Structure 1
Amino acid sequence: MNASRTDLLAWLNELLQINYTKVEQCGTGGAYCQILDSIYGDVPMTRVKMNAKHEYEFVANYKVMQNVFKAKKIDKPIPVERLVKCKMQDNLEFLQWIKRFWDSNYGGQGYDAVGRRKGAPMEPPATVAPLAAGGTRAGSGLGVGGGRAGGRTPIGGHRSGSAQPNEAVQQLQGQVKELSTHLEGLEKERDFYFEKLRDIEILVQQQQETLEADGKDDHTLREIQKILYSTEEGFEVPDPALGAAVDEEETF
């Protein structure tokens, strides 16, 4: 039988000596890696970013986890693309699985979670996903399922009401700061992958030029170039001739 969110968070926080308040926060991958470390004791925790804030850092954590799965011959696909989005349902299902795996494989030995991560501070990672649903609300520690509670009218007259504008401003400022941080991470991630693609493009071009000079061709390289230069619908490079025709039609 699958454990509830409350039970899972209580177990996770006790095992790892952390203070997660949402299952979504597991999407950073750090907690999953350390759960495995509590079982095997040999996960390279120095490579795990427990305070990861950006998606490319989440992906790096999952690469560590995939290596552990491969080394330990754990036959379980890791849905990285879904988990890194920090959505509740995807991470709840995976956390339920990993809890069952832990129950079956943990030997009962003591585990120094803080020592294994070298005493690195473990502030709960912020997740952007809850903001789309209205963000955190005053008086809601978990921020889960608080849609109705957040709409209640506080009791206490004008005195409590007078504090609401300041609280609302602080919440909005917090959301703006969090989104700005997330945007910065996305830009770094974009540049990171663009540089990789650019390096591949240069290598392919150089190899193509070498082959053409020898009168040869390579189908695989041409297919790689097709992928690199392909465009999605709505993002095609405009045809110069077509653009000139449109300009002539719009000239009065």
Structure 2
Amino acid sequence: MAESRSELLAWLNELLQINYTRIEQCGTGGAYCQILDSVYLDVPMTRVKMNAKHEYEFIANFKVMQNVFKAKRIEKPIPVEKLVKCKMQDNLEFLQWMKRFWDTNYPGHQYDPVARRRGQLTETPATLAPIASRVANTTTSAAGARSGGKTPVGGHRAGSASAVNHEQVLGLQAQLKEMSAHLEGLEKERDFYFAKLRDIEILVQQQMEDLAKDNREDFTLAEIQKILYSTEEGFEVPDNAAATGDEEETF
């Protein structure tokens, strides 16, 4: 019988000596990596960011995990795209599988999780649901307070309008700060992958030019270049952009 959320969190916190309060926090990938490390003792924990806060950091953690799965010939597919969205149900199901895997494969040796991650910080945001959902929840809560809903734990009584408004302002300011940090993370992720695509484009272009000198062609390179230069349906490159000849704006 599968463990409950509270049982899984208690096991996870004890095993890794962390303080997760929500299953969603596992979507950062750090805890999953260290569960594997507790079994094999050879996961490169220096490459795992335990306090990851942005999706591109979560993906990097899962790449480490995928490499371990491949090296250990673990055939379980890792639904990375779902897990990094930090939804409770997806991570609950995967953590339940990880617990069963650990029960089956843990050799019973002593494990020092803090030493293995070299004292790396483990704090992740307590709530890691998508930004849009968090903003919607905040708006709903604020509306409930205005309409005489239940007073939040530790909050002000409904009779004080100024106190309620002050809480709403603080909440919105916190959301704005979090959204700004999230946007910054997305921009870094975009630049990271754009740089990779640009390197691929240059390499393909150089190879095709070398082949052209010998009147040769390479079907694979041509297909790669076709993919790089493809656009979404209905999108057209502006004439003035083509006229500038700016190669930096390829994508």
Superposition TM-score, scaled by structure 2 size: 0.82
User: Distance in 2 between the 1:187 and 1:156 partners?
Assistant: 41
| CA shift in 2, pair 1:157/1:211, >3 Å | closer
CA shift, 1:109, in A, is: 2.8
Residue matched to 2:115? 115
Q: Deviations over 1:36-60 (max 9, x none)?
A: 1111222111111111122222122
**Helix, strand or coil at the partner of 1:191:** helix
Does 2:150 correspond to 1:153? yes
User: Distance in 2 between the 1:95 and 1:71 partners?
Assistant: 20
Structure 1 segments unaligned to the other structure (5+ residues) = 139-145, 241-252
User: Distance in 1 between the 2:183 and 2:236 partners?
Assistant: 25
Does 2:231 correspond to 1:231? yes
Residue matched to 1:191? 191
Question: Is the 1:59–1:80 contact (alpha carbons within 8 Å) kept by the matching residues of 2?
Answer: yes
Residue matched to 1:141? none
Residue matched to 1:243? none
**Paired AA for residue 7 in structure 1:** E
Does 2:88 correspond to 1:88? yes
| CA shift in 2, pair 1:236/1:157, >3 Å | closer
**Paired AA for residue 76 in structure 1:** K
CA shift, 1:137, in A, is: 7.8
| CA shift in 2, pair 1:130/1:8, >3 Å | farther
| CA shift in 2, pair 1:55/1:156, >3 Å | closer
CA shift, 1:118, in A, is: 0.9
Residue matched to 1:216? 216
Matched residues, number:
231
User: Distance in 1 between the 2:136 and 2:119 partners?
Assistant: 28
| CA shift in 2, pair 1:215/1:157, >3 Å | closer
Question: Is the 1:136–1:171 contact (alpha carbons within 8 Å) kept by the matching residues of 2?
Answer: no
Does 2:45 correspond to 1:48? no
User: Distance in 1 between the 2:114 and 2:136 partners?
Assistant: 28
Q: Deviations over 1:158-200 (max 9, x none)?
A: 25x5432222222211111111111111101100110110111
CA shift, 1:123, in A, is: 1.1
CA shift, 1:234, in A, is: 3.7
Residue matched to 2:172? 172
User: Distance in 1 between the 2:38 and 2:230 partners?
Assistant: 45
- Runs of 4 or more, structure 1, over 6 Å off, are none
| CA shift in 2, pair 1:217/1:111, >3 Å | same
**Helix, strand or coil at the partner of 1:158:** coil
User: Distance in 2 between the 1:184 and 1:67 partners?
Assistant: 27
CA shift, 1:72, in A, is: 1.7
**Paired AA for residue 72 in structure 1:** K
Question: Is the 2:25–2:128 contact (alpha carbons within 8 Å) kept by the matching residues of 1?
Answer: no
User: Distance in 2 between the 1:213 and 1:137 partners?
Assistant: 61
1:196-207 correspondence to structure 2 within 5 Å: 196-207=196-207
Residue matched to 2:246? none
Question: Is the 1:13–1:20 contact (alpha carbons within 8 Å) kept by the matching residues of 2?
Answer: yes
User: Distance in 2 between the 1:157 and 1:193 partners?
Assistant: 49
Does 2:138 correspond to 1:132? no
User: Distance in 1 between the 2:158 and 2:76 partners?
Assistant: 55
Structure 2 segments unaligned to the other structure (5+ residues) = 241-251
1:5-84 correspondence to structure 2 within 5 Å: 5-84=5-84
Question: Is the 1:18–1:124 contact (alpha carbons within 8 Å) kept by the matching residues of 2?
Answer: no
CA shift, 1:88, in A, is: 1.9
| CA shift in 2, pair 1:120/1:167, >3 Å | same
| CA shift in 2, pair 1:118/1:21, >3 Å | same
| CA shift in 2, pair 1:127/1:180, >3 Å | farther
| CA shift in 2, pair 1:197/1:120, >3 Å | same
| CA shift in 2, pair 1:134/1:5, >3 Å | same
